[in-house]
Amino acid sequence: MKLLRVLGSILLESRRIKLDSFKDDDGDIFNVIATIHSQEGVNQNFRTSRADIDSIGEVIDEYQDIFSKVTKLIEYNINKDSIFVRDTANGFDFIVYPKYVNGKYELSIATSINHPEKLKVKKENTLIILTTDGDAIIKEQLENNNFTKIVRGNIIIYII
């Protein structure tokens, strides 16, 4: 039985893809990983399909400072275990599970879905909403205005 678990684990690990690696301002290393689940069912023609992992990797790359900051906040918050990103500009949602492994941070992309479908936000998620100037955010959904708002050009980032 133990041998089967070890072999199963090796097979799972072999299907993980390292998409990117970056250093934050503190010199900490972050590896962006696509899990098996995030790689399955990718098809832009179906609304319930997963988003392309390379597109998700590009979003993480573009907002490295945000992901670095939120990852470190999650590390010290026992109530949070993941980063939920609602990217209205690119038209998909995705979830990342950060963890600290062997002196580096690992950002594992767990799942995604193309809009108009949406993943459900859970209390364990730290929510990041990436939106353009024209998109509406309903105030009541932002937990009594307890959020950080960052503006970069025509992109507005809400961290909840």
| CA-based end-to-end distance of the chain | 43
The single-letter DSSP state of residue 36 is H
pLDDT band, residue 149 (cuts 50/70/90): confident
Residue 72 has pLDDT above 80, yes or no: yes
Between these two residues, 111 and 48, which has the higher pLDDT value?
111
Between these two residues, 39 and 147, which has the higher pLDDT value?
147
Please compute the mean of the pLDDT values over residues 3-29 and round it to a whole number. 72
CA 17 to CA 69: how far, in whole Å?
23
Residue 140 has pLDDT above 50, yes or no: no
CB atoms within 10 A of CB 154: 10
Please compute the mean of the pLDDT values over residues 1-12 and round it to a whole number. 54
* Selection from 58, 110, 107 nearest residue 87 by Cα: 58
Between these two residues, 148 and 109, which has the higher pLDDT value?
109
pTM for the model stands at 0.77
CA 121 to CA 138: how far, in whole Å?
15
Residue 13 has pLDDT above 70, yes or no: no
Please compute the mean of the pLDDT values over residues 41-68 and round it to a whole number. 80
Cis peptide before 98 (omega within 30 of 0): no
> From residue 135, how far is each of 88, 89, 93, 132 by CA, in Å?
8, 9, 15, 6
Long-range Cβ pairs for the range 110-113 (8 Å, 24+): 110/35, 110/37, 110/38, 110/82, 111/37, 111/38, 111/50, 112/38, 112/50, 112/51, 112/53, 112/56, 113/48, 113/49, 113/50, 113/51
Between these two residues, 49 and 133, which has the higher pLDDT value?
49
Element (H, E) at 148: strand 148-152
pLDDT of residue 148: 82
Residue 45 has pLDDT above 50, yes or no: yes
Strands 104-114 and 29-34: parallel
Least confident range from 3-12, 63-72, 141-150: namely: 3-12
Least confident range from 72-76, 123-127, 144-148: namely: 144-148
